[in-house]
Amino acid sequence: MLWKPHVTVAAIIEREGRFLLVEEHTANGLAYNQPAGHLEAGESLMHAVKREVNEETAWQFTPEYIISIQLWRKTPESPSFLRVCFAGSCHDHEPQQPLDDGIIATHWLTRDEVVAKTSQLRSLLVLTTIDQYLQGEHYPLALLKTFIDIE
């Protein structure tokens, strides 16, 4: 059997003590998550996180550093995910831009407000990564190297 984790990206975006989260439809009902999504073919991780933030929130995102690289699986029967979580800032919001399918709204929530929604979080990584950010865990973007279509 060939095992391949899904490669995803996520963004921690904090402004004045509030974190940008998306409220989205999932197979398990409504959930809250960081702006996040799958890496697409031929795409760098940096491009993927900028694209996902824009598609899900209508904000332009500038990655500033990496919070963590996480290997996650909910249960032995569940798929595995290799998730690269970035932190950075947003600018140039386009409120009239339609959001990705399944995204209902965006919310700026404090950590305490996120904790109050623990049962509605997409995964435990949402709060874990916010806490990693608040604890000052950050690593340079220079750790990431892209070698696509290079002989």
The architecture CATH gives domain 1-101 = Alpha-Beta Complex (3.90)
In DSSP notation, 65-96 reads EEEEEEEEESSTTSPEEEEEEEEEEEE---TT
Amino acid at 101: D
The answer to whether the beta carbons of residues 28 and 101 sit under 8 Å apart is no
Reported as type and span, the H/E element at residue 49 is: helix 45-57
Residue 151: predicted pLDDT = 67
Residue 1: predicted pLDDT = 67
Mean residue pLDDT across the chain = 95
Please give the chain's pLDDT, 151 residues, in tens: 688 999 999 999 999 999 999 999 998 899 999 999 999 999 999 999 999 999 999 999 999 999 999 999 988 888 999 999 999 999 999 999 999 999 999 999 999 999 999 999 999 999 999 999 999 999 999 999 999 887 6
| CA trace torsion 129, 69, 33, 14 (10° rounding) | 50
Angle at 133 between CA 131 and CA 139, to 5 degrees: 140
